[in-house]
Amino acid sequence: MKKFLCAILVVSCLVSGAFAADWPTKPITLICGYGAGGSSDLGCRYLAAALEKQLGVPVVVENRPGSGSWVAWNRFLHNTPADGYTFALVNLSAIFGHYDESNPRKETIDDFVLLANQAIDYQVIAIRPDETRFTDYKSLLEYAKTHELLVAAASTGITSGEASVAKMMEKVHGAKVVVVPVSGASETNTMFISGNVDFLIANVGDVILNPENYKNVVVFAPKRVAQLPDVPTEVELGLGNYLSFSARGYAYMKGVAPEIVEKMTAALSAAIVDPECVENMNKMGVNVELYSGKEYSDLLHSQLKQRLDTWDVKE
């Protein structure tokens, strides 16, 4: 039975290859591994609307939440026909899952065919505006050498952007940082605002919504970000060259006909910079940055290398 169905899948791939020239002829499904109504889902929905304009066929968002999108990716990579009619939202978890110490995934970044990146959100360190023990990034690091500081992080280990920054502070600067694992970005924020942890590692998108709550001391971007023009980068401060961000983009599974990949990449690239889509994303505090094809792959590999170095993990 299994063999027979595999054969069907293979045949359907071949057939779809033959018809790649007139792709798309039917609705396209975008798999979103997060629940309806969340920020990832809304991003997908805005993109789907813009992509419909490009491709001329309906683009349907299908939510399959579970295990930080891995339920969706698993099904997408292994059990979905590679006919070009299904693509998925990918973020950095898809890359780091393989290196997760406590729960490693079989899949690596190379199992996805990366199409285009929609959003990049750099990480910042913020302290409370009334903080007296330290006032900037340098004094924070200095203080942390002698005093243990608490910081909240969504999940632990290499998969977590926050925990990785904390690890870097420890490794490069000798700071003593203890990570409190919580369930998500809003909870890290709550922990910080309520004074339960000493400082905050967050994304730019989180700290620009209510700026009065945060004094941002450093941003881990290659150059200053437009939303926070007064916040220096780590390079500028001369304290290191750590880069950290979260990225959200779209991918196919392997086996999709190259012509389709090309067409889809072009359509996605156009949809991502669609003015209406960009405006909606900005409203959510998300910074749109388009990378496609090889550039996109390089971007993710650079972040992968950075974190593998930080955690001393071999590729």
Partner 1 sequence: MDMVAQVFSMVTDWGSIVGLFVGVVGGMVIGALPGFSASMGVALLIPVTYGMSPVAGLIMLVSVYTSAIYGGSITATLCHTPGTPASAATAIDGYKLTQQGRGMEAVGVCTVASAIGGAVGALALLFLSPPLGRFSLQFSSLEYFMLAIFGVTIIASLAGESVVKGLFSGILGLFLGTIGLDAITGAPRFTFGSIQLEDGIQFVPALIGMFSISQVMIIAEDIYKGRSTIIADEAEMQGRILPPWNEFKTLLPTIARSSVVGTIIGIIPAAGAGVSSWVCYSMGKKFSKHPELFGNGSFEGVASSESGNNAATGGALVPLITLGLPGSAVAAILLGGMLMHGLVPGASMFTEKAAVTYTIIVGFLLANILMGIIGLLIARYVAHVSTIPMGILGPVVVALSTIGTYAIRNNMFDVYVMLGFGALGYLLRKTGFATAPLVLGMVLGEIVENNWRRALILSRGNMFNYFLNRPISLVLLVLVVLSVFSPILMNYVNKKSREGAKS
Partner 2 sequence: MKRHQDIAIGIVILIFCAFFIYLSLQLDRGSAMMPLILLGLMSFLGVIIILDGFKKTRKATEDKPVEPFLTLQNMKVPFTMFFFICLYILMFFLVGYYIATAVFLFASMCYLKQRSWLIIVAVSACFLAFTYFFLVKQLNVSIDALGLLGTYLQMSNV
Q: Give the footprint of partner 2 on this chain (CB under 8 A).
A: 2, 5, 8-9, 60, 62, 74-75, 78-80
Residue 209 touches which of partner 1, partner 2, none (Cβ within 5-8 Å per kind): partner 1
Cβ 262 to partner 1, closest distance in Å? 30
As measured in angstroms, the least distance from the Cβ of 179 to partner 1 is: 8
The entry of partner 1, partner 2, none near residue 5 (CB within 5 to 8 angstroms by kind) is: partner 2
Residue with smaller CB distance to partner 1, 37 or 222: 37
**Residue 103: CB minimum distance to partner 2, A:** 11
**Is residue 76 classed exposed, middle or buried when 0-12, 13-18 and 19+ CB atoms within 10 A define those classes?**
buried
Q: Which does 41 bind (CB under 5 to 8 A by kind): partner 2, partner 1, none?
A: partner 1
Considering the complex, state which of residue 80 and residue 246 has its C-beta at the smaller distance from partner 2: 80
Of residues 148 and 259, the one with the C-beta less far from partner 1: 148
DSSP per position, the chain? -HHHHHHHHHHHHHHHHHTGGG---S-EEEEE-S-TTSHHHHHHHHHHHHHHHHHSS-EEEEE---TTTHHHHHHHHHHS--SSSEEEEEETHHHHGGG-SSS--S--GGGEEEEEEEEEEEEEEEE-TT--S--SHHHHHHHHHHS-EEEEEES-GGG-HHHHHHHHHHHHH---EEEEEESSHHHHHHHHHTTSSSBEEEEHHHHSSSGGG-EEEEE-SSS--TT-TTSPBHHHHTS-----EEEEEEEEETT--HHHHHHHHHHHHHHHT-HHHHHHHHHTTPPEEEEEHHHHHHHHHHHHHHHHHHTT---
Partner interacting with residue 42 (select from partner 2, partner 1, none; CB below 5-8 Å by kind): partner 1
Q: Which residues bind partner 1 (CB under 8 A)?
A: 35-39, 41-42, 45, 62-67, 70-71, 74, 100, 102-103, 148, 150, 155-157, 159, 178, 180-183, 186-187, 189-191, 193-197, 209-210, 212-213, 280, 283-285
- Residue 74 or 108 with smaller CB distance to partner 1: 74
Least separation, in Å, of the C-beta of 79 and partner 2?
5
Of the pair 5, 18, the CB lying nearest partner 2 is at 5
Give the one entry of partner 1, partner 2, none that residue 108 binds, where binding means its C-beta sits below a cut-off of 5 to 8 angstroms depending on kind. Answer: none
Q: How many C-beta neighbours within 10 Å does residue 37 have?
A: 10
Residue 43 CB, shortest distance to partner 1, in Å, is 10
Beta carbon of residue 1, minimum distance to partner 2 (angstroms, whole number)? 8
Token representation of residue 131 = 């903080």
Taking the least distance from each CB to partner 1, the nearer of 192 and 252 is 192
